[in-house]
Structure 1
């Protein structure tokens, strides 16, 4: 179970204070536009109930009464040092992952889900500084000096340097950071294996609390501790979802009006589509299959039921190919295409409806191969039945070669993935929390980068950078001959040509894919 820790004491005003002076407590702010007009705190608890029905809320003694009466535990803390120690206690007692976020957060359910389901072991939500294209060009970052960031983004200090998908450095009123370009919005998700590191860093930061300013947020301090302990903290923005910290009823009313302009269901549907799909899947299937997934979800269909539809279409396709007629080939091509469409729909439905299961994952992985190999057999039988290729022995040989080639490629993919998961990551450099600026950390990162950018690793890095070009990106996606491209190749060649052309396409393209894949696997193993 995920342990949720809510921070009920926001930092002091950084920009202009909210109307009326002191910030209002989220337990006293009403969200009038939402069903039931819940308090901001009550809504957040309801959103988090599936993760942790009894979250820990850390609040000032004078504010604690406002949080009591709700589910969970309230821990009183007199200051930032107490907040950090309370977080450390909760992290040490947790038996699962950690989700730490401010109690004054107004956030979409889908954003909470995405943060907690991210593959990164540590993840922080950030807002980046908008680049001023017309402003003066800044000198290279290597020439910049660490600073105590004075800029503010959404009422939070811009004291974070983010790059390459993770937090590089974090500043406070005491810690200077080199060219900060982002602010930490608050939510942190942390894997259980880093809980002890977080607790240790939080306790050390508590001893340094006299060095921090009233604007320093607890979440900001925790990320500082993790980064300087060598934990890779990934970053993500809000994208098409809503998140805001509210300090008054007026801010809450404005935030609700702004949130109403976001289509959370559409964002959830878009996020149900895998971002790493191949060219054919991206442009010829997922453009509409997501809407089939939503239609299925609203009618109570399960992903396993959709998987069975895909399997049935695949078998019907094999049967149509086995007739050996031209119309059978065309029908088989159409059926194999829609078998693949529903193969995509079942995964999108699972992600949209959040219905996951071991059986579904096994069915999807196993019967993808089953459908493909059944179609191979159907094509070979059809070639034999048609009499166009004599006794069909040559076509059967091509079919067996294509099947063997695809099987070897799958073995390479699965075995390399399993071996790669056992490979320990190269540790990031660390830096003592007492060091006032991040120059030693940046120097260590540059040294690490220089030692890693040699030989095979340098070649792989260049190939990775080439993926920034759209044509190269899609070419790399297609060359590995993913399932979408394979089914498209079968459908197109069988509809317009004969089974021999289909199998030759599968063998030639599959051979190129296997060679490319094997070369890449060897290079990555040596890097």
Structure 2
């Protein structure tokens, strides 16, 4: 249940009459009710605010009584999915007593009446998550104290906000686009702000806001120019974001089937379905933003569906290329999936690195990186030059999902699945090299550890064996993970050379234990501190090592290519689940110990290969992991929430008077 508190202290505009005859404070209260607040209360001062916070059973909105805004602005703030605590940030000129804001990567890092590096002004409203309510109460008490660092002059809501930020509470910034929000101090400012609100078509602006402000080139010019019409239609007929996500999966699977069938009509039809599936993939997010239907389940499903769709398309291309007579069609599909997954792992952790860097100063060792400093400055300058050639080049060269789907659709329609897979691999490899090199330099400059801020064992995906291995701290976990990946890579290269006419398969099978021992070297860093400037690469290196080992064992053991693809695909589902939970700040999957860890799975595959059962062993282990994944999903999103709901209901019944 969301509680909205209108804090009138220090806001002389609270009692001003609005165009509808009610006071500005009363109109704000009514707007918060329309924006979704189940309860709205007024607080005359900070002491009353602190008392009301003690009654809150859910998120709390705290707003000043001097805000003139569209109701949609308030609804967007109250439903923002970026984090539990979010503050409204405006571009209004600073005014006496109001808090200026310094924001980086969407996070408020400093706030106060006077900031030399201000990037905006506090909009007089913030939503505070349940877990941050104790900090909000402490901030209210601190702001009311005579010894408060924040001056007592000015609106009380600004003092509370500055105090909350000063306590180190993670606060995200909510910016206003297309709609109107202004803080006012007198009747003239109120009149001007009301006129600005009336001049904007609220629903039309909300529909435009459903499109991401900054997207990639293909999405911006070939999808978002018309997808809002589909978004509006879907909302009108009552279609939800999850339903649209499932429709996009259906389109992608249909495209994959047509790519596998081959023939020019099927390939062209598959390309069209792939494009439409990507449009629907954009529409589901636009629909969620337009209707404000956000949920942890929806965010998780969208992440998982995006990857599953793409890899099923790779499977269709691999099968189609093989059916057309190319021997290594499946091999290219496996390579594309492996490369893209490892790259996504680096993308996810690099994002975490940047978010962490906002709140953690660089160490003296990392601050001297002149190259990283120049790269950071250049990147910031290019990103700020929205719409320029350099801006679009930078966004396109990294090969985002829109460009990948466009490339697949074009190449398969004009040529064939083989050309499509080769194109994806070539561009993807170049993009991986480009981003990897620049990010490595910038990360060394920032020198901000991130794996030591989370459960490293979980995100390394270590199992019981890695926990029992001795720890080699001096080598560093990244070095050990890279060395571990070299063993499977060497075995795979040796097998490829044998297929080309050199060596004998029996000898390579005897090398499987050697490759396994080299891979297990990565486990020697499991218990070491992951605080190096590049240790954010450890999960990606471990994924590469495990995937390469599985592929090598499958090839050396004579497993069918489609089975190898299927096994690695199941591994990617498991690892993307971990990444989605990291990004959504969710706990570990309930059945995570049952997945055995990267080293446990690799040992079982090696034993199966040595016993001459590589194919059946891979099929059995893959099926087992898929069942565990599905069971974990059902537990996470169906069973455990239902139990929590029943427990809460029972608690309410038990606590009510007889």
Q: TM-score, normalised by structure 2?
A: 0.57
Task: Give the corresponding residue for 2:480.
Answer: none
2:165 and 2:14 map into 1 onto residues whose CA distance is 32
Q: Please report how far the alpha carbon of residue 395 of structure 1 lies from its aligned counterpart in structure 2 after TM superposition.
A: 2.8
Q: Counterparts of 2:173 and 2:142 in 1: how far apart (Å)?
A: 24
Moved more, 463-472 or 474-483: 463-472
Q: Which residue of 1 aligns with 2:206?
A: 268
Query: Does residue 1:301 correspond to 2:263, yes or no?
Result: no
Query: Deviation per CA, 1:14-33, whole angstroms, max 9, x where unpaired?
Result: xxxxxxxxx6736xx4653x
Tell me which residue corresponds to 1:19: none
Structural mapping, 1:196-211, within 5 Å: 196-208=134-146
Q: Secondary structure at the match of 1:88?
A: helix
- Counterpart check, 1:157 vs 2:96: yes
Tell me how far 1:346 sits from its aligned partner. 1.4
Q: In 2, Cα distance between the equivalents of 1:346 and 1:360? A: 10
Which stretch has the larger CA shift, 332-341 or 207-216? Answer: 207-216
Q: Would you say 1:464 and 2:379 are equivalent positions?
A: yes
SS in structure 2 at match of 1:393: coil
Gap change, CA 1:4 and 1:324, over 3 Å in 2: same
Conserved in 2, the CA contact under 8 Å of 1:167 and 1:235? no
1:101 to partner: Cα distance = 1.0
Counterpart secondary structure, 1:286: coil
1:214-258: CA deviation from partner (whole Å, max 9, x where unpaired): 962112222343454455766555432122456788876664443
| Aligned twin of 1:101 | 63
Please say if 1:334 is aligned against 2:265: no
Q: 1:199 to 1:478 in 2, by over 3 A?
A: same
**Paired residues, number:** 435
Q: 5+ residue gaps in structure 2?
A: 444-448, 450-531, 534-658
CA distance in 1, matches of 2:260, 2:407: 18
State the distance in 2 between where 1:234 and 1:96 align.
18
2:39 counterpart residue number: 54
Provide the secondary structure at the position in 2 that maps to 1:241: coil
How far does residue 335 in structure 1 lie from its aligned partner after superposition? 1.6
> Counterpart of 1:64?
none
Query: Hey, what does 2:252 align to over in structure 1?
Result: 314
Deviates more, 1:268-277 or 1:504-513: 268-277
Contact 2:3–2:40 (CA under 8 A) maintained in structure 1: yes
Pairwise CA RMSD: 3.9
Question: CA–CA distance in 2 between the matches of 1:357 and 1:283?
Answer: 28
Taking the aligned partners of 1:501 and 1:210, their CA distance within structure 2 comes to 67
Identify the residue that residue 416 of structure 2 maps to in structure 1.
498
Distance 1:180 1:46 in 2: 32
Q: Give 1:170's aligned residue.
A: 112
State the distance in 2 between where 1:232 and 1:460 align.
27
Given that residues 124 and 233 in structure 1 are in contact (C-alpha distance below 8 angstroms), is that contact kept between their aligned partners in structure 2?
A: no
In structure 1, C-alpha distance between the alignment counterparts of 2:166 and 2:298, rounded to whole Å: 41
Segment of structure 1 superposing worse, 179-188 or 473-482? 179-188
SS in 1 for 2:342: helix
Report the CA distance between 1:364 and its aligned residue: 2.8
Residue 98 (structure 1) shift: 3.4
Aligned-pair distance for 1:304?
Answer: 2.6
1:31–1:252: 8 Å Cα contact kept in structure 2?
A: no
Q: Note closer, same or farther for the CA distance 1:490–1:309 as it changes in structure 2 (3 Å cut).
A: same
Q: Is the 8 A contact 2:14 2:66 kept in 1?
A: no
Q: How far apart in 2 are the matches of 1:383 and 1:302?
A: 36
What is the match of residue 434 of structure 1?
A: none
- Pairing 1:225–2:201 present: no
How far residue 287 of structure 1 moved from its aligned partner, in angstroms, is 1.9
Give the CA deviation at 1:9.
4.0
Residues 424, 95 of structure 1: alpha-carbon distance in 2 compared, 3 angstrom cutoff: farther
Q: Counterparts in 2 of 1:41-190, with a 5 A limit?
A: 41-49=25-33, 51-59=36-44, 83-91=45-53, 94-116=56-78, 117=80, 119=82, 121-129=85-93, 156-157=95-96, 160-165=99-104, 166=108, 168=110, 170-171=112-113, 184-190=122-128
Residue of structure 2 in register with 1:281 after alignment: 219
Helix, strand or coil: the match of 2:39?
A: coil
Structure 1 position 457, deviation (Å): 5.8
Give the Cα separation in 1 of the matches to 2:171 and 2:300: 32
2:514 aligns with none
Tell me if structure 2 keeps the 8 A contact 1:230–1:427.
no
Contact 1:44-1:103 at 8 Å conserved across structures: yes
TM-score normalized with structure 1 length: 0.69
Query: 2: distance between equivalents of 1:55 and 1:128?
Result: 27
Specify the alignment match of 1:511 in structure 2.
429
The residue number in structure 1 matching 2:6 is 6
Does the 8 A contact of 1:304 with 1:346 survive in 2? yes
- How far 1:157 sits from its partner (Å)? 2.1
Cα contact 1:160–1:181 (8 A) shared by 2: no
Q: Using a 3 Å threshold, how does the CA distance of structure 1 residues 293 and 243 change in structure 2: closer, same or farther?
A: same
Q: Is contact 1:452–1:458 with CA below 8 Å preserved after alignment?
A: no
1:305-454 equivalent positions in 2, closer than 5 A: 305-386=243-324, 391-413=325-347, 426=359, 453-454=367-368
Task: Give the equivalent residue in structure 2 for 1:480.
Answer: 398
Relative to structure 1, the CA distance from residue 363 to residue 207 in structure 2 (aligned partners, 3 Å threshold; closer, same or farther) is closer
Larger displacement relative to structure 2 (199-208 or 105-114): 199-208
**1:43, distance to aligned residue in structure 2 (A):** 4.3
Asked if 1 retains the 8 angstrom alpha-carbon contact of 2:86 and 2:171, the reply is yes
Structure 1 CA distance for aligned equivalents of residues 47 and 10 of structure 2: 16
* Cα shift at 1:5: 1.8
**8 A Cα contact 1:4 1:98, kept in partner:** yes
* Superposition deviation, residue 464 in structure 1: 3.5
Label 1:170 to 1:39 Cα distance change in 2 as closer, same or farther (>3 A). closer
Structure 2 CA distance for aligned equivalents of residues 370 and 407 of structure 1: 11
Measure how far apart 1:191 and its partner are: 4.2
> Could you give the per-residue CA deviations for residues 345-376 of structure 1, whole angstroms, max 9, x where no partner exists?
11211221122345544443333333323333
Report the alpha carbon displacement of residue 467 of structure 1 after superposing the two structures with TM. 3.1
Preserved CA contact (<8 Å) 1:161 1:167: no
SS of 1:100's partner is strand
Task: Give the equivalent residue in structure 1 for 2:653.
Answer: none
